[in-house]
């Protein structure tokens, strides 16, 4: 029996070898290479997303710059106003306003200084000039005080003019009360 199996195996091998004379079956086609710019059906969606991101980043950067500039300007303005508010010429003006019976009758007491001062204060080597407008407020209303003053080295400020204009009535009040400059 062994011989029969070997003969059968030998015959089967020959027949298998003979059937190999046919060409191999064709290979399945390979997939096409990918599009270098992505799926053409998704181009519109991808472009919209890219444009949205670009606009978002650009606007964000511009907004950040604008906020930074605004903060810088407000910071400088706050420092300038603070320096002016604490100057001797402005302090003397507000003290005169608080002491004036005519002004306190118009705007009431307590008299408080407003925030937005206008004008200039110049000091160079101890010599200075001031030409400022100081807003003041009381419970009954407000007024603007125009002050002109000078300063000599080694001395204090000398008020030359301190005139309050009441906002509601336009009444002008001389805070120096006819005094000669100090």
For the chain, the average pLDDT equals 80
158 and 94 belong to one structural domain: yes
Give a yes or no: residue 7 inside a domain: no
Q: How many CB atoms lie within 10 A of CB 66?
A: 10
Give the pLDDT confidence of 35-58 residue by residue, as tens digits. Answer: 766 666 666 666 777 777 777 777
118: which 2 tokens?
């206008």
Give a yes or no: residue 12 inside a domain: no
- Of the chain, the end-to-end C-alpha distance in Å amounts to 145
Task: Tell whether the model's pLDDT for residue 117 goes beyond 90.
Answer: no
CA dihedral 168, 105, 141, 115 (to 10 degrees): 120
97 and 125 belong to one structural domain: yes
Run of H or E including 73: helix 43-85
Amino acid 158: pLDDT:
87
Q: 165: closest CA among 110, 102, 112?
A: 102
Comparing 1-10, 85-94, 167-176, which segment has the lowest mean pLDDT?
Answer: 1-10
101 and 118 belong to one structural domain: yes
Find which of 4-18, 32-46, 55-69, 155-169 is predicted with most confidence, using mean pLDDT.
155-169
Range of the domain at 139: 88-174
Amino acid 70: pLDDT:
94
- Count helices and strands in the chain by DSSP H and E runs: 4, 6
Domain total of the chain: 2
């Amino acid at each position: 029996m062994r011989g029969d199996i070997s003969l059968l195996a030998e015959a089967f091998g020959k027949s298998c070898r003979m059937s190999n004379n046919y060409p191999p079956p064709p290979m399945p086609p390979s997939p096409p290479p990918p599009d270098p710019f992505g799926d053409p059906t998704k181009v519109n969606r991808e472009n919209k997303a890219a444009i949205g991101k670009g606009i978002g980043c650009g606007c964000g950067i511009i907004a950040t710059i604008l906020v930074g500039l605004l903060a810088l300007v407000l910071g400088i303005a706050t420092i300038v106003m603070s320096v002016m508010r604490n100057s001797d010429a402005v302090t003397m003006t507000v003290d005169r306003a608080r002491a004036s019976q005519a002004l306190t009758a118009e705007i009431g007491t307590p008299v408080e200084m407003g925030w937005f001062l206008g004008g200039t204060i110049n000091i160079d080597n101890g010599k200075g000039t001031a030409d400022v407008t100081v807003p003041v407020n009381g419970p009954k209303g407000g007024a603007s005080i125009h002050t002109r003053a000078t300063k000599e080295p080694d001395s204090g400020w000398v008020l030359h003019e301190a005139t309050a204009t009441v906002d509601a009535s336009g009444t002008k009040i001389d805070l120096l009360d006819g005094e000669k400059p100090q």
